Structure formats: structure tokens, C-alpha cells
Amino acid sequence: MQVEVLNISGKKTAKKVELADVIFGAEPSDHSIYLDVKHYLAAQRQGTHKSKERAEISRTTKKLKKQKGTGTARAGSAKNPLFKGGGTVFGPRPRSYSFKLNKNLKRLARKSAFSLKVKESNLIVVEDFTFETPSTKNFINVLKSLGLENKKSLFVLGDSNKNVYLSSRNLKASSVVTTSELSTYAVLNAKSLVLLEGAIDGIEANLSK
């Protein structure tokens, strides 16, 4: 499919780019998207939660009452989980939430995310650009020209561009990544996806393997 290329002023240029139908026109797979997003979010969890169990509580181990004749259940220690301040039964322990996904499923999920953006008309291709110095004001002007100042947006660069990245860093609604940092979650979490010309070859090379 052919898509018109815009400049940073939001105006059409004479150029058009060819987007691979295998990637940007693929049939979306909801289940692969679900698994890849779940995989990404699980990897973000620290998994450092911990509650003290019976053996880790610092309380007396003296027998609290006689074994029989009290009319209540026997109790051998103040660490008993049934008592206030006692240990926790089956409490959380530090662990990793990450799990394995094969590469083909990840590629299918990213293809599905791209094709959804195309179907929703939320994909824009822009000429490669840079700034002489980091400037949030200049980046906001680019957003306004593209009509994205009030929308969540994701800019995908072909190569690392420090000035563009630093210019966007203070903006909560916009983020800038390179093709190697791209994830299904990042694509779907943004309302509008902005591809720079130089990023297209990298995306197609990664996803056409």
C-alpha cells in the first residue's frame, strides 16, 4: 500500500512510500496481541513483594496456655498465623513474573498492531527530521502541525537521534523510540503512530524474517 509522506509542518510532500502489505495489511491476531502485551507488562513487574511467614516473626515461642481443658483450640506459639501479629500463611514471595514467548508470535503481534493502526487511520509517515539542539518547544510545534498536541503519540526513528529524544522527554503524551526499541504495547498504547521515513526499512527488515 502507498502512503503519502508529510513534512514536519504537516503538509503533504511529493513523496510516497510503499508499506509492505505483509506487515501493515496483515490480518490482526487478537490472541497474539494479548500474549505479547501480557509478556511486556509482566516483565515490568519487580516481583519484590514479601510478607513474613511464621518462621520469620520475632515473637515468643513460649506455650501460651495448657494443651487441654481450655475449651478452645490448642496453641503452641504466639507466631501462630491465627493470632494477631502472627506469621502470614502462603503470603507473597519474591519471584519473576516473566515468561517465554517465541519470536514468531512476537512478530505476529507487532504486525497485528501495525495493521490495526492502519485500519484506524492512525498511522502517519513523516520525513526524517532533527533539531540542532534539544528543544521541547520545537517538538511541540511539530505535534501541533501534525494535529497531535492533544493525543498520545509514538514517534519511531530509524536511528537514534539524541536531540529529538531529549526534546520529547518532558512530554507525557508523546514518546520517541527507535525501531529496535519498538514493542506491541508501545504501538497500541499510543493513539497515533508516527513513522519517520528512515524507520520503515528497519521495521520491515525486522518483521519480514
How does pLDDT run across 6-54, given as a tens digit for each residue? 999 989 888 889 999 999 998 999 999 999 999 999 999 999 999 999 9
Mean pLDDT in residue range 173-189: 94
Rounded distance, CA 49 to CA 7, Å? 48
In 3D space, the residue among 99, 120, 87, 97 whose CA is nearest the CA of residue 187 turns out to be 120
Q: Which residue has the cell 493470632?
A: 83
pLDDT digits 0-9 by tens, 150-170:
899 999 998 889 999 999 999
What is the CA angle 193-12-155, rounded to 5? 20
Joined grid coordinates for residue 22: 505483509
Between CA 158 and CA 61 the distance in angstroms is 64
Q: What is the pLDDT of residue 31?
A: 96
Which set of grid coordinates corresponds to residue 56?
Answer: 520469620
Q: From 2, 49, 44, 41, select the one nearest 21 (Cα to Cα).
A: 2
**What's the pLDDT score for residue 208?**
81
User: Mean per-residue pLDDT for 176-205?
Assistant: 93
- Span 124-148, average pLDDT: 93
Q: Report whether pLDDT(97) > 90.
A: yes
Question: How big is the chain by its Cα radius of gyration, in Å?
Answer: 27
pLDDT, one tens digit per residue, over 40-91 is: 999 999 999 999 999 999 998 888 889 999 999 988 889 999 899 999 999 9
Q: What is the pLDDT of residue 61?
A: 85
Bridging pattern class, strands 2-6 and 192-196: unpaired
Q: Report the pLDDT value the prediction gives residue 2, as an integer from 0 to 100.
A: 87
Within 10 angstroms of residue 147's Cβ, the number of other Cβ atoms is 12
pTM: 0.83
pLDDT band at 124 (very low <50, low <70, confident <90, very high): very high
Residue 1: band (very low, low, confident or very high) from pLDDT cuts 50, 70, 90: confident
73: left (phi over 0), alpha (psi -120 to 50) or beta: beta
**Euclidean distance between CA atoms 184 and 109, whole angstroms:** 6
Is the per-residue pLDDT at 209 higher than 80?
Answer: no
Average pLDDT, integer, range 191-207: 92
List, in sequence order, every residue forming a beta bridge with 16; answer none if it has no partner.
4
pLDDT at 95: 95
Is 174 buried (19+), middle (13-18) or exposed (0-12) by CB count in 10 A? Answer: buried
SS3 label, residue 136: helix
**Phi and psi for 143 in degrees, rounded to 5?**
-60, -45
Res. 120: pLDDT tops 80: yes
d(CA 174, CA 149): 9
Q: Tell me which residue has cell 500463611.
A: 89
Written as one letter, the residue type at 143 is: L
